[in-house]
A and B are shown apart, each in its own frame.
Chain A
Amino acid sequence: QSVLTQPPSVSGAPGQRVTISCTGTSSNIGAGYDVHWYQQLPGTAPKLLIYGNNNRPSGVPDRFSGSKSGTSASLAITGLQAEDEADYYCLSYDSSLGGYVIFGGGTKVTVL
């Protein structure tokens, strides 16, 4: 079981807005550590989507946005497209004993 909790799946029709939550604790997200997001298309390596809570690397469409509040963070996808169907993972830092790098369990986004 992951330290960061994500919903197993979310779905939406093309053009809709979907959000993925990433819930942590007071030793990671709640302690103020940044959250980062990855998109993993089938059979490929994860791709950095959002870093530092709400920053997009060059080339990532502005349909993707991140936010953080308290012990949770969220990834929003607006104007959902068929190509967005993928697994999404959050990543943060944990200050508890030896925790360091922690991933969320992942969320499968399905475009209806």
Chain B
Amino acid sequence: QVQLQESGPGLVKPSETLSLTCTVSGDSISSGYYWGWIRQPPGKGLEWIAIFYHSGTTYYNPSLKSRVTISVDTSTKQFSLRLTSVTAADTAVYYCARASSLAVAGYYFDYWGQGTLVTVSS
């Protein structure tokens, strides 16, 4: 059974950096899947942040690309999200997820973490 668990501070001050870690169990980050981050502001819809493959290929949401960094540690089965210069608009539930890639193009997320709420406030 694949499981993902997000962890990190629940409160971040404006202009600072949001850092979250996702711990994977029941699978290896080096398996044939992609992995990613998605967020959901309170009462709003889902927004894709980034998706990556263990070989280093990473794709970012263009609207967040300049502020996002993804790092991976396959030995500890963890990957991380860093989002810099946060504002109140970055307040959201952040999810990590596993993604299957399709033969032609595209991805879908099949396993999700439970999500963690990050509030940006002074």
Interfacial chain A residues near B114, Cβ < 8 Å? 44-45
Asked if residues A48 and B48 are in contact (CB atoms below 8 Å), the reply is: no
Please, how many residues of chain B have a CB less than 8 angstroms from a CB on the other chain?
Answer: 26
Number of cross-chain contacts by CB at 8 Å: 70
What residues of A have a CB within 8 angstroms of the CB of B36 in the complex? 101
Query: Scoring A residues 56 to 99 as 1 if CB is less than 8 Å from chain B, else 0, what string do you get?
Result: 01000000000000000000000000000000010111010111
Which residues on B sit within 8 Å (CB–CB) of A92? 106
Q: Kindly list chain A residues whose C-beta atoms are within 8 Å of the C-beta of B100.
A: 51
Number of interface residues of A (CB under 8 A): 29
| Interfacial residues of chain B within 28-81, with CB under 8 A of chain A in the complex | 36, 38, 45-48, 51, 59-62, 65
Contact of B108 among A32, A45, A91 (CB under 8 A): A91
Given the complex of chains A and B, what is the CA–CA distance between A2 and B108 in angstroms?
17
Q: How far is A100 from B109 in the complex, measured between Cα atoms in Å?
A: 13
Taking a contact as CB atoms under 8 Å apart, the answer to whether B113 and A46 are in contact is: no
Interface set of B (CB-CB < 8 Å, partner A): 36, 38, 45-48, 51, 59-62, 65, 95, 100, 102, 104-110, 112-115
- Which residues of chain A have a CB within 8 Å of any CB of chain B? 2, 32-34, 36, 38, 44-48, 51-52, 57, 89, 91-93, 95, 97-106
